[in-house]
A and B are shown apart, each in its own frame.
Chain A
Amino acid sequence: MLATVVHTDELLQTVAASVVAGVGITVVFSIAIWGAARFVDLSSNERPVAAGAAAVVGVLALVATLAAVVVGIVVMTSG
């Protein structure tokens, strides 16, 4: 009986979307912060190439975070 009333497909999609968004955004944003922190450290150690690489990683991760937020809102409004 329970199997017929549980919206299994919708529930699994909710779980999957929540995990991807919730864990994914925190991880990607942490990479952005890691990039910023490494950039500060490496710049003060006068390692400009490594600092530049860390900054690029950080900026890309920040852009990915913001893109994920925008995509999330677009998916919500299109439903």
Chain B
Amino acid sequence: MSSDIILVIVVGTALAFDYTNGFHDTANVVATSISTRAARPQVAVAFAALLNFAGAFISISVAATVASDVVDAGAITPTVVFAGLIGAIAWNLITWYFGLPSSSSHALIGGVVGSAFVAGGADAVLSDGVIGKVLIPAVVAPLLAFTIAGVAIGLAYRLVGRERPGTVTRGFRYGQIVSGGMLALAHGTNDAQKTMGIITLALIANGNLGAGSDPPFWVIFSAAAAIALGTYSGGWRIIRTTGSRIIKMDAAQGFSAQGAGAAVILSSTHFGFPLSTTHVINGGVMGAGAGKRLSAVRWGVAGNIFVAWLLTLPAAAAIGAATYGVTRAFGTGAVGPVVVTVIALALIALAFARRSRQGSPVPAS
């Protein structure tokens, strides 16, 4: 009975995490289309939410990686998954509070790895999977998006650079409807699958599913709905702040950045690599900027992303590990997760209250 209560808490927490992931990442997905005026903000956000929802249904490779290749499902319990989720949410909250650009995906994997390590020792962590499926793609993917966008925009300028700017801009704006849609689809498929993987892992750990099982339909549907709702809700905040915080780029750069991001995320998803979509999209945007003019890239932002990237996995792992320790201090029943959830909700409310008094942080992209 108590393990079922923990499972319900894990599923609720995972879906809340998925919602915040969509909310958090709306800017990444729609900013380029809005910035180049390829789409009106309301249309771009609604389109992105719809395609995030659809994207969650087109593959389960990443969910399989998260459920099977990161930690040993046979050696963990729903409490371990819960502690990992709290680690990820806490790190996201800390980076949001201080305005650091962090990756929700790396935080999620780091949190689960940390709690599994404390609960089951080194054997509970599948280091081959973490290195081969998470860490190496995490390094390769943003650099790949940067290079592809840079090369693509260079070739595009060579092809259309002497043509009438009006026709060229109009053409690329139309193209951005497709490239922006592909990016939203890619975001939905990679990010929603991480939540599916986590819920599936909890179901396996609780004995509801056999080891190596695929996510059930209700898991896929609820993860898709949560990320789409988050994207839509986050979009209204973006609409209000459009203009001052968005990188200025022309329509051709927007098209190549979105195309590069979508290509890298979709290809990686096909092979089950759980990427940081934030880092890939930022890599594409910077590549498209560098392809036109090297000084156009905000190298300070790139530095912040790099630092946050280095910190996220170990920091989320440490918080996940500590959370597991606190949870287990209350025994193996549901009391620990309930107490930790209440404390986490109180801390979240406190952070939001302090932030609203101090003003908005730098957006953590």
Contact = CB atoms under 8 A, between A and B. Distances in A.
Interface of A: 2, 4-7, 10-11, 13-15, 17-19, 21-23, 25-27, 29-34, 36-38, 40-41, 65-66, 69, 72-73, 75-77, 79
What secondary structure prevails in chain B residues at the interface with A?
helix
B140 A15 contact: yes
A72 B59 CA distance: 13
Contact of A27 (B59, B156, B264): B156
A10 B141 CA distance: 13
Contact of A23 (B58, B131, B152): B152
Name the interface size band of chain B. Answer: 35 or more
A34 B160 contact: yes
Contacts of B167: 33, 36-37, 40
Given A7-B271, A10-B271, A37-B167, A76 B159 contact: no
A2 B156 CA distance: 38
Interface of B: 58-59, 61, 127-128, 131-133, 136-137, 140, 144-145, 148-149, 151-153, 155-156, 159-160, 163-164, 167-168, 171-172, 175, 178-179, 182, 185, 189, 252, 255-256, 259-260, 262-264, 266-271, 273
Contact of B168 (A5, A17, A19, A37): A37
B266 A26 contact: no
B160 A6 contact: no
Given A5-B131, A11-B136, A26-B256, A72 B159 contact: no
Contacts of A41: 163-164
Contacts of A76: 58-59, 189, 266, 269-270
Given A22-B262, A72-B266, 13 more contacts: A5-B131, A11-B140, A18-B263, A22-B148, A22-B152, A25-B179, A26-B256, A27-B159, A29-B171, A29-B255, A30-B159, A37-B168, A73-B185
